[in-house]
């Protein structure tokens, strides 16, 4: 992705969890536009996502994948259009978890894995409240769910890449997030770690997932819905409907290879490789 | 030996100096943990230097010798600069370090310009640059103690917020905690600590007190509370040992304290190297990167 400004937050307001509107979809985006200064990163984005859906957000580098996730998380303001999460603007929620790219975090930071997961409780606890026994139990359970129960006391920098990503997931679980946004969770991971993370994502109950990916093959085979971006929405729906030669050419230009798989779905590789997709 | 250790305490000014060093070193090390972790070293230095025009203005307005009013001038300036830098960082058309550099050099020049109109300019400047822990008064001690308590209280009360804001600002924003409020509060705490420490180490060596003990502790531990605790211990020990050096060998006190702290840092560096704490990630991680990138 392109360079991002420091996240913008609103001062002077402590928000309790917004009431969810049960009739509204988990995510409703209408004519969204997000800009950095004069440069428009995303334009005219409109789609709905029901609760519990699992959506892969794909597109070439700089297509606006991270921008979209950050806008949904409520940390980048849109300058036109609207976003509603369970019927309410994202700023009203603490049930949205955003998992950064691993390269955005300082892994030498002196916290243990359990400390980092406990950070997910911060918003629920509110200022001046210390974690209670119940919070510690929630953290331990979250660690168990991601198979890191025995790693709680480790320094975060001692984890492998896959474990780091699972730790972030545990933090989202501890946060009791209902909408989880993952920015390139598989970047820099080996195949077996990738599969562990994907399997975990499939096991998250009652959670609406948006996952930015650059591997179209994984997106097509492991997700039931795709959103293809390049500054705007080029395709939205089931993988077979989105990954058609015309739309892919519009998204990637010449920088892709297409392979016909046995089941008829096009499996495509984005061969463009920029610095941002490196691991930390 | 006992005699050697107790001799300095026969002098009331040395007792006050020891008290001031212990308080200031401890405070600087604890707040310094955040300075180190947020890579704000440059900002800490800039804050210290930006205080100069405040002091100079105080000198011009209130006449010489009234240290109490100088303190408030310095505090006001430092807090204003801290908030200003925070504001620039968040609006940011300039890169933050560039903005800090301009503000810092500009403020320092303004301070020197103002001071140069006061007679006895050189004496004042040396005093402000390098501090004079031997000249600490009871009033100074009360100020250090009072503000120190408030700073410590805030660090303890908002521990988990400061932790999240420092570790992962983007995530902090999604938690709907008032991230920019805590970021600014942290800057103000650094500013307050810088000002109450001025008399002891002076603004020229302030940065060393903020980051050296905290970095030493960073090399030795894996948890933030320990980093603060070990940092404070290293800082306090440096303060005490430095004062002994200063007392017996006639070395400038601020410099002696800083040199001892650097000594501890070097030892910690060697120890942590040996224990392999410098390893940044587990070896499982790196070699597979090429697989995923294809």
Global ipTM: 0.76
Q: What percent of chain B has pLDDT over 70?
A: 88
A100:B173 CB<8 A: no
| Nearest to A37, CA basis, from A60, A83, A5 | A5
Angstrom distance (rounded) from CA B171 to CA B168: 5
Chain A environment of B30 (Cβ under 8 Å): none
Tokens 């004496």: give the residue: B123
Residue A155: which of B178, B180, B222 has the nearest Cβ? B222
Residue B68 has pLDDT above 60, yes or no: yes
pLDDT at res. A38? 81
Please check the confidence at residue B261 and state whether its pLDDT lies above 90. yes
Res B231: pLDDT:
95
Q: How many angstroms separate the CA of residue B146 from the nearest CA in chain A?
A: 21
Which alpha helices (H) appear in A146-233, and where do they start and end? Answer: 161-174, 191-203, 216-222
Contacts of A279 in chain B (CB under 8 A): 285-286, 289, 292
CATH top class, domain B2-274? mainly alpha
**Cβ <8 Å between A160 and B285:** yes
Report the pLDDT value the prediction gives residue A269, as an integer from 0 to 100: 56
* Local confidence pLDDT in tens for the 280 residues of chain A: 333 333 333 333 334 456 677 777 888 888 889 888 788 888 899 999 988 889 999 988 888 898 999 999 888 888 888 888 888 877 767 788 888 888 888 888 999 999 999 998 887 787 777 888 888 899 999 999 998 989 888 889 889 888 999 999 999 999 888 899 999 989 888 888 899 899 988 888 788 999 999 888 888 888 989 999 888 888 898 888 888 877 787 787 766 666 555 555 555 555 554 444 443 3
What's the DSSP call for residue A88? B
Q: pLDDT band at B288, cuts 50/70/90? A: very low
Instruction: Report the distance separating Cα B180 and Cα B2, nearest Å.
Output: 51
What residues of chain B, 23 to 52, have a C-beta less than 8 Å from chain A? 37
Task: For B228, name the nearest residue in chain A, comparing CA atoms only.
Answer: A110
Nearest CB partner across the interface for A111, out of B167, B175, B286:
B167
pLDDT surpassing 60 at residue B291? no
Judged by CB atoms closer than 8 Å, whether chains meet at A105 and B168 is answered as yes
Q: Indicate if the pLDDT at residue B244 is higher than 90.
A: yes
Q: Which domains does chain A have, with CATH numbers?
A: 27-95+178-275 (3.40.50.300), 111-175 (no CATH)
What's the pLDDT at A116?
Answer: 92
Selected residues 94-153 of chain B with any CB under 8 Å from a CB in chain A? none
Q: Which residue ranges make up each domain of chain B?
A: 2-274
Could you tell me which residue, B234 or B123, shows the higher pLDDT? Answer: B234
pLDDT, tens digit, 9 for 90 and up, residues B36-45? 998 888 888 8
- Cβ-defined contact of A104 to B292 (cutoff 8 Å): no
Any A CB within 8 A of B91 CB: no
Q: Kindly report the CA angle at A61 between A221 and A244, in degrees rounded to 5?
A: 45
Q: Which of A61, A24, A62, A68 is nearest to A46 (CA)?
A: A68
Query: Which residue from B minimizes the CA distance to A17?
Result: B176
Mutate one of A3, A4, A5, A6 to test the B interface: name it (highest B CB count within 10 A): A6
CA–CA gap between residue B148 and residue B150 (Å, rounded) = 5
Predicted pLDDT of residue B200: 82
Lowest mean pLDDT: which of A88-102, B27-41, B59-73? B59-73
């Amino acid at each position: 992705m392109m360079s991002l400004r420091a996240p913008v937050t609103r001062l002077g307001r402590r928000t309790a969890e917004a009431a969810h509107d049960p009739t509204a979809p988990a995510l409703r985006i209408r004519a969204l536009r997000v800009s950095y200064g004069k440069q428009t990163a995303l334009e005219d984005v409109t789609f709905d996502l029901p609760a519990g859906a699992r959506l892969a957000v794909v597109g070439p580098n700089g297509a606006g994948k991270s921008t979209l996730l950050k806008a949904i998380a409520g940390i980048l303001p849109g300058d036109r259009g609207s976003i509603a999460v369970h019927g309410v603007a994202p700023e009203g929620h603490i049930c949205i978890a955003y998992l950064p790219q691993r390269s955005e975090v300082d892994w030498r930071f002196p916290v243990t894995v359990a400390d980092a997961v406990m950070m997910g409780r911060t918003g629920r606890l509110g200022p001046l409240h210390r974690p209670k026994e119940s919070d510690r139990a929630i953290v331990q359970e979250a660690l168990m769910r991601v198979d890191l129960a025995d790693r709680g006391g480790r320094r975060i920098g001692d984890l492998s890449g896959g474990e780091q990503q699972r730790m972030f997931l545990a933090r989202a679980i501890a946060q009791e997030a209902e909408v989880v946004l993952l920015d390139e969770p598989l970047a820099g991971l080996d195949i077996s770690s990738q599969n562990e993370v994907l399997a975990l994502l499939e096991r998250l109950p009652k959670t609406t997932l948006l996952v930015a990916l650059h591997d179209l093959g994984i997106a097509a085979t492991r997700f039931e819905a795709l959103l293809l971006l390049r500054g705007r929405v080029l395709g939205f729906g089931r993988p077979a409907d989105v990954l058609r030669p015309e739309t892919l050419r519009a998204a990637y230009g010449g920088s892709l290879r297409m392979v016909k798989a046995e089941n008829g779905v096009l499996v495509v590789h984005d061969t463009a490789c920029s610095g941002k997709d490196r691991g930390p | 030996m006992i005699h050697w250790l107790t001799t300095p305490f026969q002098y009331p000014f040395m007792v006050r100096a020891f008290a001031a060093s212990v308080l200031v070193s401890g405070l600087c090390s604890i707040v310094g943990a955040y300075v180190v972790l947020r890579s704000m070293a440059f900002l800490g230095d800039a804050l210290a230097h930006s205080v100069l025009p405040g002091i100079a203005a105080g000198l011009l307005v209130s006449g010489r010798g009234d240290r109490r009013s100088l303190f408030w001038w310095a505090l006001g300036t430092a807090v204003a600069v801290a908030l200003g830098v925070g504001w620039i960082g968040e609006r940011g058309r300039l890169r933050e370090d560039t903005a800090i550099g301009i503000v810092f050099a500009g403020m320092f020049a303004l301070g020197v310009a103002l001071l140069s109109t006061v007679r006895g300019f050189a004496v004042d400047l040396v005093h402000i640059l390098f501090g004079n822990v031997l000249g600490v008064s009871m009033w100074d001690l009360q100020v250090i103690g009072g503000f120190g308590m408030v700073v410590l209280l805030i660090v303890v009360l908002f521990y988990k917020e400061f932790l999240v804001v420092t570790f992962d600002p983007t995530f902090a924003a999604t938690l709907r905690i008032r991230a920019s409020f805590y970021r600014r509060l942290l800057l103000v705490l650094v500013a307050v600590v810088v000002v109450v420490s001025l008399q002891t180490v002076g603004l020229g060596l302030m940065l060393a007190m903020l980051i050296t003990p905290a970095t030493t502790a960073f090399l030795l531990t894996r948890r933030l509370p320990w980093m603060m605790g070990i940092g404070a211990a290293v800082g306090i020990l440096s303060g005490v040992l430095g004062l002994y050096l200063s007392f017996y060998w006639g070395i400038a006190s601020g410099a002696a304290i800083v040199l001892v702290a650097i000594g501890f840092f070097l030892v910690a560096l060697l120890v942590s190297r040996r224990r392999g704490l410098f390893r940044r990630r587990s070896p499982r991680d790196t070699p597979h990167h090429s697989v995923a990138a294809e």
